[in-house]
Amino acid sequence: MMAKKLLITEKPSVAMEFAKALKINTTRKNGYLESEEWIITWCVGHLVTMSYPEKYDENLKKWRLDTLPFIPKEWKYEIIPQVEKQFNIIKDLMHRDDITEIYNAGDSGREGEYIQRLVFMMAKPNPNAEMKRVWIDSQTEEEILKGIKEAKELSYYDSLSDSAYLRAKEDYLIGINFSRLLSIIFGRRVASKINEEHVSISVGRVMTCVLGMIVSREREIRNFKKTKYYKISGEFGEGEFFRAEWKSTEGSSMFESPLLYNETGFKKEDEAKKFIDSIKDKDAIVESIKKTKQKENPPLLFNLAEVQNECTKKFKIKPDETLEIIQELYEKKLVTYPRTDARVLSTAIAKVITKNLNGLSKGCKNEEVQDILKKMSEEKYSTNLVKTKFVNDSKITDHYAIIPTGQGFENFDNLSDLKKNVYLLIVKRFLAIFYPPAEYNKLALTIKVGDEEFFANEKVCTSRGYLDVLKGDSEEKENNIELLSKLKKGEKLKINLMETKEAETSPPTRYNSGSIILAMENAGKLIEDEALREQIKGAGIGTSATRAEIMKKLERIGYIAINSKTQIITPTDKGEVIYDVVFSSMPDMLNPELTASWEKGLDMVAKKEIEPVVFMEKLEKYIRNKIGKLVVPM
């Protein structure tokens, strides 16, 4: 009997790619492929699930306070009936005597690990077979072969598996205990408020926190009162004029005055006009001129959250649709692994990056991409990324950023226009990192009028650099930089005009389905500035693999509404009532920092910084405390 190797992938289409890469003549059997050396089979999503409480005890089917908290000592799992046939096929293959090696080639991430480990746990494979893990960054042929050749012992990924099991247990325990608890105590009250007969309150570790972000933002907007204030602007010069704005500085007669709304404006228009009258006849002198040059580097590469946000902005599509599209591009070998949090490359990939560039240059038929590549080659832009901000091994956990592989073009023409556009978005973000920074001349002018100071700032782009790749033909707005450059320090200027300008405060903006994903990645903070976002990035809420699903669920259970044209998110009446219930009973469930700290804990388990048992003890204590506070014994 000839020894064989068994390889288990995440789904049939991936199994076909592995078979192609291994160049094996396989015979398609029922639920697997077989050749002389290999057997390749597949999961179809989850095959195993955690049992509901009633499987532990029939009486637990009824929701009652005296059965809470429900925390099993021994956990029960079961095969999902719809996929039992495929589970049995895998199980039988794992028990074959001729199998000497079993390769877990599931999706290369925490959830992919979990799906396969559950199968191994339930199927109890042949103990004589050596267990290995294939971990890949793209589905190109060489990456698949490298993944098989360099497959590590399965046990190398045990801590990732521990973290995956704990994530599932945490979501299960919080979901079941708190949904039951709040439904029993507040269900009737919620139902009467929204005129429904019966309401069960759905609580989730990440979902409830995200609902909180959306409701509190909506209420900020609702309660926002616009405030008018009055700025002062002066027109200076002779022949050619320019404007400068007044600001209260330390030497100003209005410094920290109660008459001001902020340092740039007055609460009342007549006070602003009085102030103008007090200074308009004084001399205006150029106090300082500061000229600087500024460089702006290309942005970092896409991780999943960034590309989801960008696709919502550009194409008005939901994050789950973006993920589906990029998953398809990944399976068609066009891009690397999508569910990644990293926005940089590894040193190893950076060293062979010309492969991706050459592939694009030979295979990508898009004219714009060819022009970008042509300019790179004519201008001799360096392709050595190793010492740049785009390469950082310490910022990569499971996978590097999403980039084009430079392969898979045989699949490109059959893609829809939207899918092609998402692909080109990823390609352009990748090519931009080889372009030089954009360069600007900046000029800051201060004019002294008596004791008061007026400021003018101008900026002009002198070299577009990477903007040629990413920003299209954005028009430079007119500016006075040349006129201001001619001024000299100490020069006296003519004041042509001084006037008030009405300004008003604006409310915060609503989240859209892309910006909420970014806010989740940054633990509840929506940070518009890209560089700052990168600096504070720590543990977010949810993971790149689950965030889009959470939004989908909140919409499905009717807690939020997402406008299909604009992708703007608003809470529903039901969502707001649920928020109030959680806020009054267990407000920390709404706190992004707390949710992020749980995520951080899971990450620490994966990195072997804490033992799984420590995490579980903390979780159980948290649940018991919460229930203890709300359920007062009679």
Residues labelled as active-site residues: 337
102 beta partners: 6, 131
Beta-strand runs (E) in 337-450: 438-449
Question: Whole-angstrom Cα distance, residue 340 to residue 158?
Answer: 20
Tell me how far the alpha carbon of residue 298 is from its chain's centroid: 19
Question: How far apart, in whole angstroms, are the C-alpha atoms of residue 526 and residue 444?
Answer: 30
| Burial of 380 from C-beta contacts in 10 A (0-12 / 13-18 / 19+) | exposed
Please report how the helices 612-630 and 158-193 are oriented relative to each other, as an axis angle in degrees rounded to 10: 10
Q: Following CA atoms 203, 206, 208, 211 in sequence, which dihedral angle do they give, to the nearest 10 degrees?
A: -150
The CA distance from 291 to 309, in Å, is 36
| Alpha-carbon distances, residue 218 vs 133, 208, 534, 572 (angstroms) | 46, 15, 26, 10
Which alpha helices (H) appear in 502-588, and where do they start and end? Answer: 515-521, 530-536, 547-556, 573-585
How far is residue 86 from each of residues 2, 82, 378, 415, measured CA to CA in Å? 25, 9, 55, 30
Closest CA to 554 of 374, 319, 326, 353: 319
User: Is the bond into 507 cis (omega within 30 degrees of 0)?
Assistant: no
Pairing type for strands 27-28 and 32-34 reads antiparallel
Contacts with 85 (C-beta within 8 Å, 6 or more apart), sequence order: 31
Phi, psi of 293 (to 5 degrees): -110, 145
Distance, in Å, from the CA atom of 439 to the CA atom of 464, rounded to the nearest integer, reads 7
Give the Cα separation of 554 and 511 in Å (integer). Answer: 14
